Amino acid sequence: MMSDSVLKIDGLCHAYKNHEILKNIDLDLRAGERTAVLGESGSGKSTLLRCIAGLEMIKRGKILLNGRIVSDHVMTVPTEDRNLGMVLQERALFPHLTVIDNIMFGIDKVSSKHRIVADLTKLFKITSILDKFPSEISGGEQQRVAFARSLAPEPELLMLDEPFSALNQELKEELYAELLSIFDERNVAVLLVTHDLTEANRLTSSQAKLDGGELTKT
Ligand code: ADP
Ligand code: MG
């Protein structure tokens, strides 16, 4: 049978110079599945996402998206050809573009552009701020826009790099609840990296720990 993994990582090793950050990482994520990688600051969580996004050349092993090898030790498919979404901790939006233009930025399917944007802005309750610039909206609104933008190209894999750490508890709780229903509705696979176990438990059904460069299921 062909693999139905959205993301498969096989023996991934990565190092900056001679400093090994990721050692023999294996990971398998299927459609609609949500998993978290927990780890202390500096443990390599962002590096792992950068490898999956094609922003790092990996040293050993391979990364597959939908059964296709996108990274190995000789080849790296560019980020824009990977059909994945990513939300970062902060400074994710283009400051010179309005909210609506930020969201439209990554959509190249012109025909369905307006429907996609209308759906997402309604889901994330940001219809009233579409013409504002990022500097004119709150931190919570900025993260809502960042989520809407990441889902706009309809990726099968969404990677979240501690996207809630700049938000207060109340905003987090509100966003968690909204996101869970949106993720289920879209059947998108989610890979969350965080140092926050509570957050991981709220948003994902399985967790692994990254420690000393090794990833272990918990
Ligand atoms: P985390 O996201 O878990 O906090 P990172 O993946 O950002 O950790 O970093 C893991 C380790 O790799 C840290 O020791 C960090 O200093 C180092 N590192 C990150 N990026 C680079 C880089 N571009 N060059 C050299 N070392 C880096
Ligand atoms: Mg990080």
Q: What is the pLDDT of residues 8-22, one digit of tens each?
A: 999 999 999 989 999
Q: Considering only CA atoms, which residue is closest to atom 16 of ligand 1?
A: 42
Q: What is the pLDDT of residues 84-100, one digit of tens each?
A: 999 998 778 999 999 99
Tokens of 46: 């962002």
Q: What Rg, from alpha-carbon coordinates, does the chain have?
A: 17
Cα of 38 from ligand 1 centre, angstroms: 15
Give me the pLDDT at residue 89, please: 85
User: The whole model's pTM is what?
Assistant: 0.94
pLDDT at 166: 86
pLDDT, tens digit, for every residue of 116-172?
A: 899 999 999 999 999 999 999 999 999 999 999 999 999 999 999 999 988 889 989
Residues with CB under 6 A from ligand 1: 16, 21, 39, 41-47
- Helix and strand numbers (H, E) in the chain are 6, 10
pLDDT at 106 (0 to 100): 81
Q: What angle do CA 21, 172, 184 make, to 5 degrees?
A: 80
- Taking the CA of 50 as reference, the closest ligand is 1
Say yes or no to pLDDT of 110 above 80. Answer: no
Cα(91) to centroid(ligand 2), Å: 14
Interval between CA 103 and ligand 2 midpoint (Å): 24
